[in-house]
Amino acid sequence: MDIMAKKYKFLEPRLSWLAFPFALIFVVYFVAPLILTIIVSFWDYTEYSIIPDFILDNYLYIFEGCFSLENGLCLTFKTYLSTLFFCLFTWAVTLILGFSVAYFLAFYVKSTPLQVALFLICTIPFWTSNVIRMVSWIPLLGRNGLVNDFMISLGVIEQPIEWLLYSSFSVILALVHLYTLFMIVPIFNSMLRIDEEIIEAAYDAGASQLQIIKNIVIPLCKPGIIIGSIFVVTVVMGDFLTIGIMGGQQLASVGKIINTEMNYLQLPGAAANSVILLVITILVVFIMTKVIDIRKEL
Amino acid sequence: MYNKKSSNLSRRRMLKLSAGTAAAATSILYAPNVIASDPITLRYLGTAVSMGDEVQKKLFEDTGLKVQFIAVTTDEVTKRVLTQPNSFDLVDTEYFSLPKLVPSGNILGMDTTRIKEWGNVTSIFTRGITPKGKKVGLQGTAPSKVMYLDGATGKSFANDVTQYATLIPTIYNADTLGIRPDLIGRPINSWAELLNPEFKGKAATLNIPSIGIMDAAMVVEAMGEYTYPDKGNMTKAEIDLTMKIFTEAKKSGQFRAFWTDFNESVNLMASGEVVIQSMWSPAITAVKSQGKQCVYQPLKEGYRAWAAGFALPKTTKGKTADAVYDFINWYMSGWVGAYLNRQGYYSAVLPTAKEYMSPDEWGFWMEGKAAKGDILSPTGDKLASAGELRDGGSYEDRMGGVACWNATMDENKYMVRKWNEMVAS
């Protein structure tokens, strides 16, 4: 509060009640359920009931067999590795794409109406429902899909490529397709705040395009990059629909395991898994914010 | 049973004659105490896969009752019954959920004396045999094993016949593998074909552990790897063995995909991504309606069956409970039965359904006879032309060929974990 108050001098204590409505929503719909989840993760359960208790079994069960390597990696480690892999890969691709698109929008498109129009085009992936979007990948990437047919007719390949669909490739493709926008918005926002005169000055001083990007644009866009990264990382960590459908349900994700446990009413088990997922996600975000102090940059 | 049936018939005919139409007849039979008072809307929790708008319309015409469907997945139905038993007036759930639902005390025993057609409920439910006396496979949570409760508010199953049924059966079917005969080009007659390397990358199964494990067990047994004492209640070692075989197949690329949603299975099959997979009956119809060949292939090892029925939550009382019984009696009076049979499911009360079907429809769906004219779905889509036979044949052949039922195992938690490991492998 002190730091905030110092920085934002307009924030007078007598106006702090303005934050109350949001704080209330936050407490009721976020803090309370989270606390409940943590409590339930220590409860016992049967097929048809959950029993108040304090046991560590749910956590022990998750890590059962994880600390001996004789049977290979345990389910939990394997699943987290796979989820982290999707997370990192998607993050890297959305970052490069998002940065490029935002850069183009901010510095090459001069008219504001055109900027808005192009920006809206970026939101097209969100114009249809998740399910329809997923289903439409089949005619495109499937064995007899457009891409395979096209490449066969060109003579590039003789047999349809199987890994276009229901593979890590298709999962990452769909994730990138969906979440690049989450990267574009905050980076674009940061870029708009960059004083053009700084860039002009750098140009006049003989800096190359690359030097300008590396030494001026990227450092000044750091908050946008970090906010976008937090969005993408947190969303992908908890995703199970995209990984499930695009991976042909053959790839593991933490979200899917929690989903299955919930369906089988193993609620304390699901709660324990959620807590672990939350801890790991917070850890990843924490490391990111260590790299850049967002509050300082804002 | 046959006497009862014929007396019913004649009584019905009399009513039909006097009232003129079947609709009028049913409204005389089942309108009683409801129309007079305020119209009641029943909150109907279920998967509602089989329920279209026509059912609601017909129900209102006949009885003045209204239903509001709360359509969710099978697992979600169970979850709701256990966690929010006051959020619905009537539940349509599967028999294999009962080992979870009954001990909770959240559903009441159904008073069979209030069910007009109880005596006509197919013997598959009450005695585990087909109407012609053929023994049905009872592995898994077979309805006949969990049919009765030890009291109106009983929390355990009764071994003998009691006045109180756990569920009033509504709909059931025998499931098997679906195939694309045009893309396979040879006869398929065993569950083992699902893991045949010939279909590498072109097979699929479902990612719903409780059902997927049963299909997996059918495959393992058909391959001659192991014979289960009870596929529906495996030991840990049996679960390990089953999952090991499927994990190896998955690693070698046998499966194109797993599916969780009915529509996914339709897409996989219709697009030709998959040529053989675990499938549900209406999905076959959906693929066919896209003009693709698709067969619900009878297999020599038999079918995996499932069944659903109605129950009252403990919170439904008084007038609402009466209305629920009225609704169930209407449901079993034939019109809905015919409606279900025409979708390829089976109605629990066959004699009443028969009255609402043409002899050609009855012959095609129930007796395994060749269609004489076009066979239409309840919504008017053509499902078969003259001369065609139903996949799997007659009711006796299909239900008599049931090898096991959907199940809840004692080792359910372990099974779900092992299934997740297979998916992650």
A242 contact partners, CB below 8 Å, separation of at least 6 = A134, A171, A174, A175, A178
Q: What average pLDDT does the structure give for chain B?
A: 87
Asked whether B69 and B41 are in contact (CB, 8 A), the reply is no
Which among A75, A142, A265 has the least Cβ separation from residue B79? A265
Pairwise CB contact (< 8 Å): A265 & B263:
no
Euclidean distance between CA atoms B75 and B96, whole angstroms: 11
Q: Tell me, what's the pLDDT at B26?
A: 42
- Is A250 near chain B, with CB under 8 Å? yes
Is B100 part of the contact surface with chain A (CB cutoff 8 Å)? yes
Residue type, B171: I
Question: Whole-angstrom Cα distance, residue A161 to residue A140?
Answer: 12
Residue B257 in contact with partner chain A when CB distance is under 8 A? yes
Q: Is B186 on the interface with A (CB under 8 A)?
A: no
Min Cα–Cα distance to chain B from A216, Å: 44
Helix, strand and coil content of chain B, in percent to the nearest 5, comes to 45, 20, 35
Q: Does A63 touch chain B (CB under 8 A)?
A: no
Q: How far is CA A166 from the centre of its chain?
A: 20
Kindly tell me if the per-residue pLDDT of A265 is higher than 70.
yes
Residue of chain A minimizing CA distance to B411: A47
Q: What is the per-residue pLDDT for B52?
A: 76
Residue B286 buriedness (CB in 10 A; 0-12 / 13-18 / 19+)? buried
Mean pLDDT, range B237-264, rounded to an integer: 92
The CA–CA distances, whole Å, from A170 to A82, A130, A167, A285, B199 equal: 14, 15, 5, 26, 22
Q: Is A113 or B51 the better-scoring residue by pLDDT? A: A113
Residues in Cβ contact with B83 at an 8 Å cutoff, skipping those fewer than 6 apart: none
pLDDT, tens only, B24-70? 444 444 444 444 456 789 999 988 766 778 888 999 999 989 999 98
Residue A166 touches chain B, beta carbons under 8 Å:
yes
Q: What is the DSSP letter of A67?
A: T
pLDDT over threshold 70, residue B1: no
Non-local CB neighbours of A6 within 8 Å, separated by 6+ positions: none
What is the set of domains in chain A, with CATH numbers? 70-297 (1.10.3720.10)
pLDDT grade, residue B112 (50/70/90)? very high
Q: Rounded to the nearest 5°, which phi and psi values hold at A277?
A: -60, -45
Q: Rounded CA gap, A144 and B27, in Å?
A: 53
Radius of gyration of chain B (CA): 21
Q: Tell me, what's the pLDDT at B242?
A: 96
More confident residue, A4 or A77: A77
Q: Is the pLDDT of residue B10 over 90?
A: no
CB contact under 8 A, B260 and A244: yes
Residues of B in Cβ contact (< 8 Å) with A40? none
Nearest CA distance, A55 vs chain B (angstrom):
17
Q: Do A264 and B75 touch (CB under 8 A)?
A: yes
Residue B415 in contact with residue B239, Cβ under 8 Å?
Answer: yes
The whole-chain average pLDDT of chain A stands at 87
Residue with tokens 């064995």: A143
Chain A residues lying within 8 Å of B256, measured CB to CB: 166, 248
Instruction: List, for residues A148-192, the tens digit of each pLDDT value.
Output: 999 999 988 888 888 899 999 999 999 999 899 999 999 999 999
pLDDT score for B28: 44
Q: pLDDT-derived band of residue A69, with 50, 70 and 90 as boundaries?
A: confident
- Whether the pLDDT of residue B98 is over 90: the answer is yes
Domains detected in chain B: 2-173+304-358 (3.40.190.10), 176-303+365-424 (3.40.190.10)
CB A180 within 8 A of CB A197: no
Which among B157, B174, B158 has a CA at the least distance from the CA of B299?
B174
Among A144, A170, A243, A250, the residue to mutate for chain B (most B Cβ within 10 A): A250
Choose, out of A36, A44, A46, A48, the residue to mutate when testing the contact with B (most B CBs < 10 Å).
A48
Distance between A48 CA and the closest CA of chain B, angstroms: 5
